Structure 1
Amino acid sequence: MSRPSLPPPELRPYLEELVRRTSAACGDRLVSVLAVGSLALGDYRHGRSDVDVTVVVDPTLPRADLSTLARTLAHPELPCPAAGLELVVYGADFAARPSGDAGYLLDLNTGPSLPERAAYDPVEGPAFWYVIDRSVAHQAGLPLYGAPARDVIAAPDRPTVLAALRASVREHADGEGHLADNRVLNGCRATVHCRTGHWFAKRRAGEIVAASEPAFAPLVTRALDSFERPRAEAAVLPADEVRAFLAWVAARVDEAASAAGV
């Protein structure tokens, strides 16, 4: 699937206002605003996908301004037309170097389908989500404001990404808080990244795995079909098959880590 040059039309007014409010809150300390995740990889699905945004700022931005930013972007203060907004703010000094840490200044989750969260301490939770997001951002981040992604976001090294993928697969194997179809397709994306070193959209990764792994093709095909539906209409997939598939994915990640000398 080709990388988009513009956000989908149904999101453009929202993203334009998000950038305007971010610029107003951060002033001349704003460096860059990037669309990442499914938007960057060309696989955004309205009603199903989140809007993923990475913001890079001068690290001297006061905490009070970050709090203002969180308030002004929170749904429904700024109504989110997608399932949710996942926005992460990094200091430019941190973002410019490879790291396995979470490292954010602000992690904001908001929107109609997401629990509200505004966190300012990066040691509060696991770091792997942020490592993967920065790796995707470096490869494919879509500039909404300011400097291009590769000028401001360093790519984590391969051992760090593989460690993050292993943690991600463990998280999805537990199943807590994740739809079954997303768990399967996240595993497909991890598998294809291990093979290629590149990030593919989840649907494209699912197609690749379904074509190359006949034993898992029926499960992955059902996950792909379910992924076309809104979240509330997602299919229930057999739990034992999902666990078996994710155990297989974990083994592929471990093989890639061993080959990389991790």
Structure 2
Amino acid sequence: MARTPAPPGFPASPQPVPAELRPYLEEQVHRIRTVCGPHLVSVLAVGSVALGDYLHGRSDVDVMVVVDSSLPGRALHELAGTLSHSALPCPAAGLELVVHASGTAASPSGGAGYLLDLNTGAELPEKVSFDPGESADFWYVIDLSLASRAGRSLFGRPAREVIAEPQRAALLTALRASVREHAAGEGHLADNRVLNGCRSLVFCRTDQWLPKRRAAEAVADSEAAFRPLVEAALHSFERPRGAALPLPAADVRRFLRHVATRVDEATEAT
């Protein structure tokens, strides 16, 4: 039987879950199902796990949970407790987990809109938020786009059925805010700032989300002026976070200004 090709921007087949994460994610899904019960719609691996770019010792684990809006509020607090690093140690650098109501996830949005945002792990500052007004919208808009296109189902309905792709205008606004955030540099490693810029640049050109390292390789091939910086960022990214290499600050700023210009041009063309 002929295989139906994936729509543009979607991976041809789901990426395998890295062996280092399988027991952890299985236990995580078990705990989410226990807390949410019949209100649970989907548990999705997103980010580097879904895109096949997970690098143990460097990458976070990104998980998106979709629940029915009737989930009791106390369950969100219980989820935050049972999934915290102290209760369930994360083998990756950290866990970034976001819970969305099914109605919100299914409607294109330019806002954060979450019910719970949990950051936890040995190398990730602890964050528990139940109020999307506390957070910058752009992180969540980009993640919803990635989830709608490439989210890997760990439980329940597939991503394409439960996550709506944000409108392109909202997505480009989010990308511009992301570039500004990384240009400021506070709290971000230089190599990750460059690789995020590469991913944004490739998205503006192709309307596809590539894994960070593949996007960086594409930019290194096409942008000779920035090739040494991008290759240095790739080399640094292979190292643990605590051993990341310094990159020339002026070169990083210049590259991110270039990315911002390309995002602005894509926005004007929309």
Aligned to 1:131: 141
Q: Distance in 1 between matches of 2:12 and 2:97?
A: 24
Aligned to 2:61: 51
Q: Distance in 2 between matches of 1:124 and 1:84?
A: 20
- Pairing partner for 1:7 from 4, 17, 26: 17
Relative to the length of structure 1, the TM-score reads 0.98
Q: Distance in 1 between matches of 2:124 and 2:233?
A: 21
Q: Distance in 2 between matches of 1:65 and 1:185?
A: 36
Q: Which runs of 5+ in 1 are unaligned?
A: none
Structure 1's 3 and 113: CA in aligned 2 closer, same or farther, altered over 3 A?
A: farther
- Per-residue CA distance 1:56-104 (angstroms, 9 max, x = gap): 0001111100000000000021010000000000000000010001000
Aligned to 2:7: none
Pairing of 1:188-227 with structure 2 (within 5 A): 188-227=198-237
- Pairing partner for 2:41 from 6, 31, 36: 31
Shift of 1:2: 7.2
1:256 to 2:266 alignment: yes
Q: Distance in 1 between matches of 2:258 and 2:20?
A: 37
Partner letter of residue 239 of structure 1? A
Q: Distance in 2 between matches of 1:132 and 1:57?
A: 20
- Pairing partner for 1:146 from 131, 145, 156: 156
Aligned to 1:91: 101
Shift of 1:3: 5.5
- Per-residue CA distance 1:234-258 (angstroms, 9 max, x = gap): 0100000000000000000000000
Q: Distance in 1 between matches of 2:148 and 2:12?
A: 16
* Worse-superposed segment, 4-13 or 251-260: 4-13
Q: Distance in 1 between matches of 2:67 and 2:28?
A: 15
Pairing of 1:210-249 with structure 2 (within 5 A): 210-249=220-259
- Per-residue CA distance 1:31-53 (angstroms, 9 max, x = gap): 00000000111100000000000
1:70 to 2:80 alignment: yes
Q: Distance in 2 between matches of 1:70 and 1:120?
A: 10
- Pairing partner for 2:113 from 80, 97, 103: 103
Q: Distance in 1 between matches of 2:12 and 2:57?
A: 21
RMSD of Structure 2 on Structure 1 (CA): 1.0
Q: Distance in 1 between matches of 2:85 and 2:127?
A: 11
Partner letter of residue 162 of structure 1? L
Percent of aligned positions with the same letter in both sequences?
Answer: 65
Aligned to 2:4: none
Q: Distance in 1 between matches of 2:232 and 2:262?
A: 22
Shift of 1:5: 3.5
Relative to the length of structure 2, the TM-score reads 0.95
